[in-house]
Amino acid sequence: MKKKGELVSYRPDIKVIDCTVRDGGLVNNFYFTDKFVKDLYFANLKAGIDYMEFGYKASKEQFDVSKYGKWKFCNDDDIRAIVGDNDTDLKISVMADVGRTDFRNDIDDKANSPIDMIRVATYINTIPSALEIVEYCNKKGYETTVNIMAVSKSNDMDLDDALELIGRSCVDEIYIVDSYGSLYPEQMRRLAEKYLDCAEKYGKKIGVHAHNNQQLAFANTIETLTMGVSYLDSTVCSLGRGAGNCPTELLLGFLKNPKYDITPILGFIENHIVKLKEEGLIWGYDIPYLLTGRLNQHPRDAIQFTAEHRTDYQEFYHYLYDRDI
């Protein structure tokens, strides 16, 4: 597949989606201060970011609202308290997980909501449930995406069938999601080719959500972008579950569209991220994440290992390795 665009120019179809609060919320149970979220909103605005994802639309029946910060539920009023009428070019997105959302109760008509886009996260075996949510939200007036998680565990035949099914739906974007941070650029380019074939056939756009287990989140993002992927997820300083995501500051350093400006993000880092680190919040690339990524495993054991401040990496590697045999 021919590459799209050159290093010195830019493609106006590129969109940057800031997932700092949503993926970062998985690190601190969504307990961000209003000042953090508001300052991030204004930093994103000034930086030219295209979408800001505020969190999840999680079911209040399944999850105790007293045990999580508000961005796990993303009530329209809570978003409005940050963005007002959001009379800006920055669009607002939230994520709904298949099986964990009461979308019929919790997602209002777009006309009544500050939200612009609903992103539906699904494993490959629950695509029909994902499409049910997509159809519902589409009718309510939202832009929608389907994010197929853990694609590194899927086989090619299932993925081809899944893309066909999603392609024929009313969804706007389809995401490549390297949930375990296990994929190399060569594999990501191959996946991008497959997804882009589907996108061309059905008039969709393709997005990418990378994890940094092998320090490849940024590389995988720009390599798939070069092939035509246009919705790029990132988080400030990688803030996100486990090894975190493609860092916004690296991505903005790469993009050439003059509307993007790295300096508001640098300001946000010095005012907020430095403090989060000082307070002891732990995320980002480290040896345990490399090991789960390399073995194509869920990062949960690495998160546990890191939280316990363990450094017996050899022992941990043998444990992960033996478990897979």
CB of 74 to a copy of itself, least distance (A): 29
Considering only 9, 66, 155, 314, the residue that binds a copy of itself (CB under 8 A) is 314
Note whether 323 and 298 are within 8 A (CB): no
Mutual orientation of helices 313-323 and 300-307 as an angle, nearest 10°? 160
Concatenate the DSSP letters of all residues of 54-80 into one string.
Answer: EEE---TTTS-GGGS-GGGT--HHHHH
- The owner of tokens 């941990």 is 316
Residue at 238: amino acid letter = S
Footprint of a copy of itself on residues 23-52 (CB under 8 A)?
Answer: none
- Of the candidate spans 18-26, 73-81, 113-121, 264-272, the one that interacts with a copy of itself by CB under 8 A turns out to be 264-272
Smaller CB separation from a copy of itself, 72 or 189: 189
> Does 294 contact a copy of itself by CB under 8 A?
yes
Considering only 27, 166, 176, 217, the residue that binds a copy of itself (CB under 8 A) is 217
* Helix ranges (DSSP H) in the chain: 20-28, 34-47, 76-83, 103-106, 127-140, 156-167, 185-202, 217-227, 248-254, 263-268, 274-278, 287-294, 300-307, 313-323
- Of the candidate spans 12-20, 58-66, 122-130, 246-254, the one that interacts with a copy of itself by CB under 8 A turns out to be 246-254
Cα(226)–Cα(230) distance, rounded to whole angstroms?
9
Close Cβ partners of 11 (under 8 Å, ≥ 6 residues apart): 4, 5, 230
Smaller CB separation from a copy of itself, 45 or 266: 266
Cα(250)–Cα(8) distance, rounded to whole angstroms?
16
Considering only 97, 143, 178, 249, the residue that binds a copy of itself (CB under 8 A) is 249
Nearest partner of 298 among 322, 325, 320, 282, judged by Cα:
320
Considering only 247, 276, 292, 306, the residue that binds a copy of itself (CB under 8 A) is 247
> Does 170 contact a copy of itself by CB under 8 A?
no
> Does 159 contact a copy of itself by CB under 8 A?
no
> Does 10 contact a copy of itself by CB under 8 A?
no
Cα(110)–Cα(129) distance, rounded to whole angstroms?
21
> Does 219 contact a copy of itself by CB under 8 A?
yes
- Alpha-carbon 121 to chain mean position: 9
Considering only 160, 262, 296, 301, the residue that binds a copy of itself (CB under 8 A) is 262
Considering only 1, 65, 274, 282, the residue that binds a copy of itself (CB under 8 A) is 274
- # residues contacting a copy of itself (CB under 8 A): 40
Note whether 193 and 224 are within 8 A (CB): no
> Does 226 contact a copy of itself by CB under 8 A?
yes
Smaller CB separation from a copy of itself, 62 or 311: 311
In angstroms, the Cα distances linking 77 to 66, 74, 106, 133 are: 17, 8, 12, 22
- Binding residues vs a copy of itself (CB under 8 A): 3, 7, 184-187, 212, 214-220, 222-223, 226, 237, 247, 249-250, 253-254, 262-263, 266-267, 269-270, 274, 285, 287, 290, 294, 311-314, 317-318
